[in-house]
Amino acid sequence: MRVLKFGGTSVGSPEALRRAAAIVAQELPGGGLVVVSALSGTTDRLLLAMGASSQGDAAAADAAYAALEARHWAVAEALGLAEAVRPHWDPLFENLASLLQGMGLLWEASPRARDATLALGESLSARLFAVLLQSQGQPAAFRDVREVMQTDARHGRARPDLAGLGETCAPWREALAAGALWVTQGFLGSAPDGSTTTLGRGGSDTSATLLGEALGASEVQIWTDVDGVLSADPSLVTQARPIPVMSLREAAALSAYGAKVLHADALAPVGRAGFKLVVANTHRPQGGRTEIRLEAPARRPGEITSVAYKEGVTCLRLPPAQEPELLFQAATRLLEAGASLYGLLATPDGGLLVARGETAESEAVLKELESSGLALHRGWAVVALVGEGLRDEPGKALSLLAPLDGEPISAILAGDTGVSLAFLIQEDRLGELIPRLHAHCIEATPA
Ligand code: ADP
Ligand code: ASP
Ligand code: MG
């Protein structure tokens, strides 16, 4: 059994949808599960509409709604599927209009209401994709992922209940094993009270791998808009190379340090269940692809495979004579509020906490911490060099930082626990330094 996940750009135009349908025909001849994201740009537009509604700007909310609706119908019409999908879409659009109207009346968008609204993006695309497959003679059916994806009640960044997922998936496992072809939504879950939750931006990758684990899949394929995982973000590095095979540890480090191609939570299920994970390009199915394996491919000592970064990072410094306890408490509070932590360092000479406030709640905690004895510095980016070659002796890798000579580096975060060497640079230097590091550490070595 295979799970195929199609990201936003893979379902974002009639041509992409047709290609995705052809990939399903090719990869799932005996059935399987298809997980889809919302049409590209939809989640952003829904957020915009909700922001406008809850600030009382009905005109802007209406405009965002109208654009979203027009775009969806244009895609359905181009595929000749408008009439077939109408019975499924009409109630979803009505629901969306009511939710936005409610937020407009209340001047408020609660996390619960936001998730209910965001869910419409993935629900629209999953319904359309099921209808498209049916129109091509594939025996596909839509199933709502909220039947099985139980989560906690943290709306906006819900955590799946793994034990629950194993249980709720039993009927799905049976039907899929018997040859069903189902299409479902990525990104969404269901809280204990039955309300809709979401798994965080980019969370459809995690939906796919979690479902793969719970369904006992042998393979999960992530179909996106690049030829697999590349050695760097192609929007910053034109020379970025495809990585045909990488270890799970490399992929996990790369996504944890910000490479958007895989959601940071998507790799844990691969480690637990051991299925094959493939990343491939919907627009060039025969092009390059990446296979992520539990076992590491052989790498030369010191060899790195990729460079990742995340901007918008804040450093919290603990002055020398203060109790490190302050730093640990700050870390716990930030994590609980939904921040990402990139480093925690305590030395006799002071301490450092490196965090990114991902949520309004964690931003508020950062502000409070500013007046608690920690010095706060914004505007940093964490950069990570990643590769199995760094595993044994991270100290050797320090020479890789030579291209940064003369640049302000705020901290170096490395240890013998992982496959990465991370450090902080000023955010506005990313555009220049990432290509420079890539040239030195990757282009200068044979592929
Ligand atoms: P999808 O909508 O299919 O989930 P995303 O936009 O979330 O796609 O992720 C794919 C994008 O990730 C690529 O288009 C690329 O811009 C970006 N990206 C960043 N780092 C990398 C990397 N190391 N390898 C491949 N893509 C990367
Ligand atoms: N549509 C959601 C987002 O844009 C989830 C995803 O694409 O994975 O964040
Ligand atoms: Mg994505």
pLDDT at site 319? 86
Q: What is the pLDDT of residue 215?
A: 98
The pairing of strands 409-414 and 420-426 is: antiparallel
pLDDT at 390: 87
C-alpha to C-alpha distance for 71 and 40, rounded to whole angstroms: 11
Cα of 399 from ligand 2 centre, angstroms: 38
pLDDT score of 413 more than 90: no
Residue 381: pLDDT band (50, 70, 90) is very high
pLDDT at 55 over 90: yes
- What's the whole-number mean pLDDT along residues 202-225? 98
Average pLDDT (156-184) is 96
Atom index in ligand 2 nearest the CA of residue 44 equals 4
User: Which is more confidently placed, 137 or 399?
Assistant: 137
Report whether pLDDT(97) > 80.
yes
Give the integer Cα–Cα distance in Å for 243 and 289.
Answer: 8
Question: What's the pTM?
Answer: 0.95
Confidence of residue 130 (pLDDT cuts 50, 70, 90): very high
Ligand nearest to the CA of residue 199, numbered in listed order: 2
Q: pLDDT, tens digit, for every residue of 222-275? A: 999 999 999 999 999 999 999 999 999 999 999 999 999 999 999 999 999 999
The predicted pLDDT at position 161 comes to: 97
Q: Residue 394: pLDDT above 80?
A: no
The predicted structure's pLDDT at residue 391: 83
Q: What percent of the chain has pLDDT over 90?
A: 85
Question: Pick the residue with more confidence: 404 or 137?
Answer: 137
Q: Quick check: 396 pLDDT over 80? A: no
Confidence of residue 38 (pLDDT cuts 50, 70, 90): very high
Q: Tell me: pLDDT of 447 over 70.
A: no
What is the C-alpha R_g of the chain?
Answer: 23
- The count of other CB atoms within 10 Å of the CB of residue 91 is 10
Q: What is the mean pLDDT of the chain?
A: 94
Mode of pairing for the β-strands spanning 196-198 and 219-224: unpaired
Q: Is the pLDDT assigned to residue 154 strictly greater than 90? A: yes
Side-by-side strand order, sheet with 375-386: 340-347, 350-356, 306-318, 375-386, 420-426, 409-414
Q: Which atom of ligand 1 is nearest to the CA of 232?
A: 23
Q: What is the reported pLDDT for 416?
A: 66
Pair type for strands 276-281 and 289-293: antiparallel
CB-proximal residues (5 Å) to ion ligand 3: 7, 202
State the Cα–Cα distance between residues 67 and 46, nearest whole angstrom. 10
Identify the pLDDT of residue 204: 98
15 or 326: which carries more pLDDT confidence? 15
Q: Of residues 78 and 388, which shows the higher confidence score?
A: 78
**Residues facing residue 340 across a β-bridge:** 356
According to the per-residue pLDDT averaged within each range, which of 75-79, 325-329, 416-420 is highest? 75-79
Q: Is 181 in the pocket of ligand 1 (CB under 6 A)?
A: no
- Please tell me the distance from the alpha carbon of residue 270 to that of residue 263, in angstroms, as a whole number: 13
3 state DSSP class of 288? coil
Whether 207 lines ligand 1, by a CB cut-off of 6 Å, is no
Pocket test for ligand 2, best of 43, 118, 124, 225 (most atoms within 8 A of CB): 43
Q: How confident is the model at residue 70 (pLDDT cuts 50, 70, 90)?
A: very high
Question: What average pLDDT does range 279-285 have in this prediction?
Answer: 97
